[in-house]
Structure 1
């Protein structure tokens, strides 16, 4: 059975675990060394600013009555399980797809961990240009975005010859 799993996309589970560890540890360090709302400049276009996000991406659902916490937890679990099934059905050589799916799962589980443990997602990366600030995000969010880009690029490249 181990040989069967190693021939599928589940061989990439290690990447899920790496992302999960990086995300949880980075958020732990922010919570330990920063006060909520505290901001410190890292480079000329990035601050570390410790904030709580009770919603989804870009604060979507943030101003609700609390139901969004469990709704977003369920969505994270459903997406993670669905992508694991897809990975199981892919060969391990489908690197970009499997990496993309693993990155999305790792990010989803990182934010799920926050919602369960703290009731909110811990965000801290504040990217800006001049006075324009992108909504704060974290390692999990970055992983989800990069994973999605990998999947789109791989799919585009696969179909570009059609």
Structure 2
């Protein structure tokens, strides 16, 4: 004689391997990416950043510009400072200051990622910032400057040259703001 075992009200049937058949249901949503997924994405972005920098550093001479569009050139520039060449003309201490700042930021970001892996938009923003910060830290340690190669301009106005790491940091910052706005809007409902 067999007896039915009561199930938890949210339990769903499983197959012989103990897995649910079919797609995730509302009771069992798709699992959130783990820390390893976010760190793997960061690593891929760092590799992309470093490969592009190595290419431009070897294929171009310093200051060389190759026109791509009427408002965009490839170039090779070195930035000893931070964004917009902030502190670039200082005597060299800024290299280590921004290196330490980038490493501390990376440690804090990894700590935050561990705590928030279930929030994909927030975690993606942190991952983008992490990859950008570490990409530029690698340059500072290896070369003493950051390699920039993307240059946008309009007539006599120039946006400071930048790289893939800078794009990651900017997109991550925008995504952080968007995430906060959307979370605030959701909590007001």
**Shared fold (TM-score, shorter chain, > 0.5):** yes
Greater Rg by CA: 2
Give runs of aligned pairs for residues 34-73 of structure 1, distance below 5 A. Answer: 34-73=60-99
Per-residue deviation at 1:8?
A: 4.1
Distance 2:167 2:61 in 1: 23
Partner of 1:30: 56
Q: Give the paired residue count.
A: 156
Unpaired segments of 5 or more residues in structure 1? 1-5
Distance 1:37 1:31 in 2: 11
Are 2:164 and 1:149 aligned? no
- Greater CA drift, 147-156 or 8-17: 8-17
Distance 1:7 1:127 in 2: 35
Per-residue deviation at 1:15?
A: 1.4
Deviations 1:110-154 (A, max 9, x none): 100000000000011001122211011100001000011111101
Question: Scaled by the length of structure 1, what TM-score is found?
Answer: 0.92
| RMSD of aligned alpha carbons | 1.3
The one of 116, 121, 143 equivalent to 1:90 is 116
Give runs of aligned pairs for residues 130-149 of structure 1, distance below 5 A. Answer: 130-149=155-174
Unpaired segments of 5 or more residues in structure 2? 1-31
Distance 1:11 1:134 in 2: 34
Checking the alignment, whether the CA contact within 8 Å between 1:10 and 1:84 is kept in structure 2 is: no
After the TM superposition, which parts of structure 1 deviate over 6 Å for at least 4 consecutive aligned residues?
Answer: none
Task: For CA contacts below 8 A with separation 6 or more, give which structure has more relative contact order.
Answer: 1
Structure 2 residue matching 1:63: 3-state secondary structure: coil
